[in-house]
Amino acid sequence: MCELLTVKSEESIPIEWIFHYASLLDKYGIAGFGWGVAWKCDNGQIRRYRAIEGVRNDVLAPQTLKGLEAKEYLVHLRRPSLMKSMAFNNSQPYLNEEESLAFAHNGYFTNHDQFRPLFINELQGTSDSEIGYQYYLTKTKEQKDPVISLELTHQKLEGKANLVVFQKDQDTLLYAGNDDNRMYVFDLDDVRCASTSLHSQDDFLFQAIFPTATNVKQIPLFSGCELTTGRLKHKSCK
């Protein structure tokens, strides 16, 4: 029941811009049980901030992240599928040890318990999303195409899945696989964006949060693509 937002621009974006839109997604959505943000530094390395509170209740974030500017961000607003999984280590995005890849999931992987024993030594938390993250990493280590790896992750773990992969020196990958929470790409002036839709089957996302959005397109279900400045590049659409 989470929400996702990722943005990319050729000019630096202050963190306050991110706080504004993340807070609106938190306000109108149902994901107030933890949040996190990843961003790319000038050298391409990915950094991350996470909290167990929702973004609007997180009093430390404005102080901790004050002055931050970046050209690319990934935001995850959490509402656990299993409420007993509320914990700091279950907050997203996930980040690999090399700080070169961040991963975020919206939905619920129904087969997560089946695959959990395979990753027991790598897991830091208890959520179904982390199983998806670890499964995706195994597919990329097998040198499978990154977008195909996202599709395979959803196919094997089943359930509902919108996925975002944030990568060093590469375009952000998007996968739409949650028919209850559609994913859109659009422009806000010179900022290229992708966002989930508040679990609302209408255009409220663009009425209340992004009223100035242009070039709005829904990512087709069960397809993956790259988010690039000024265009959406589909790698595999079914």
Alpha helices in 75-177 (DSSP H): 112-115, 128-141, 146-157
Measured CA to CA in angstroms, residue 233 lies from 108, 185, 217 at distances of 26, 11, 12
Cross-strand bridge partners of residue 39: 47, 73
> In terms of DSSP bridges, do strands 69-77 and 46-51 run parallel, antiparallel, or are they unpaired?
unpaired
Low-confidence spans in the chain with pLDDT less than 50: 232-238
Q: Return the closest-CA partner of residue 139 out of 172, 106, 101.
A: 101
Q: Phi and psi for 237 in degrees, rounded to 5? A: -130, 130
What does the pLDDT read at residue 144?
82
| Type of residue at 44 | G
**DSSP secondary structure letters along 189-204:** TTEEEEEE-TT-SSSH
What's the pLDDT tens digit per position in 3-39? 999 999 999 999 999 999 999 999 998 877 799 999 9
Alpha helices in the chain (DSSP H): 15-28, 61-64, 112-115, 128-141, 146-157, 204
> CA quadruple 76, 199, 232, 190: dihedral positive or negative?
negative
Q: Return the closest-CA partner of residue 136 out of 151, 124, 149.
A: 149
Instruction: Give the integer Cα–Cα distance in Å for 55 and 157.
Output: 29
How many CA atoms, within 13 angstroms, populate the side-chain half-sphere of residue 153? 38
What does the pLDDT read at residue 232?
47
CATH code, 118: 3.60.20.10
The residue range of the domain holding 132 is: 3-236
Instruction: Tally the domains of the chain.
Output: 1
Token output for 131: 């199983």
Would residue 193 be called left, alpha or beta, if left means φ above 0 and alpha means ψ between -120 and 50 degrees? Answer: beta
What does the pLDDT read at residue 33?
79
Cβ distance 190 to 237 under 8 Å? no
Instruction: Give the integer Cα–Cα distance in Å for 96 and 161.
Output: 20
Helices 128-141 and 146-157, interaxial angle, to 10°?
140
